[in-house]
């Protein structure tokens, strides 16, 4: 399946792009992260401490265990600092 994957804040900077389309068979967010980590050093670096990474699945806050079935868009970012 095709997934839009978005990165924000320092994840965007470490990976070097704001979004990309990924062709994957990953079943969960955690599987996708493992797949991305294996790609290149910059992904491994960005995803080296998952305690510092938050994820949204189709624009809703979610977690690593979330299924990717039927999902269109995944976003990775650090803890929010708005307000």
Partner 1 sequence: MAVRVQAGDFDLGAEVAGLCAGRVDIGAVVTFTGLVRDLDGRLMGFELEHYPAMTERALAGIEAEAQARWPLQASLIVHRYGALAPGDRIMMVATVSAHRADAFEAATFLMDYLKSRAPFWKKETTPGGSAWVDARETDAAALARWSKGS
Sites of contact with partner 1 (CB under 8 A): 6, 8-10, 56, 59-61, 73, 75, 77-83
Q: Tokens for 66, please give them.
A: 């979330």
- Minimum CB distance to partner 1 smaller for 70 or for 79: 79
Shortest distance (Å) from residue 38 CB to partner 1: 26
Q: Strand 54-57 relative to strand 60-62: parallel, antiparallel, unpaired?
A: antiparallel
- Minimum CB distance to partner 1 smaller for 25 or for 60: 60
Distances (CA, A) of 40 to 19, 33, 54, 62, 70: 16, 12, 20, 25, 26
Shortest distance (Å) from residue 21 CB to partner 1: 15
């Amino acid at each position: 399946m095709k997934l839009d994957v978005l990165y924000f804040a320092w994840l965007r900077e470490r990976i070097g792009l704001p979004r990309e389309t990924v062709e994957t068979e990953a079943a969960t967010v955690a599987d996708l992260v493992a797949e991305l980590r294996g790609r290149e050093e910059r992904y491994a670096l960005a995803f080296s401490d998952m305690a510092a990474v938050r994820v949204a699945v189709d624009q809703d806050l979610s977690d690593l265990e979330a299924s990717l079935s039927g999902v269109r868009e995944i976003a990775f970012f650090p803890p929010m600092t708005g307000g």
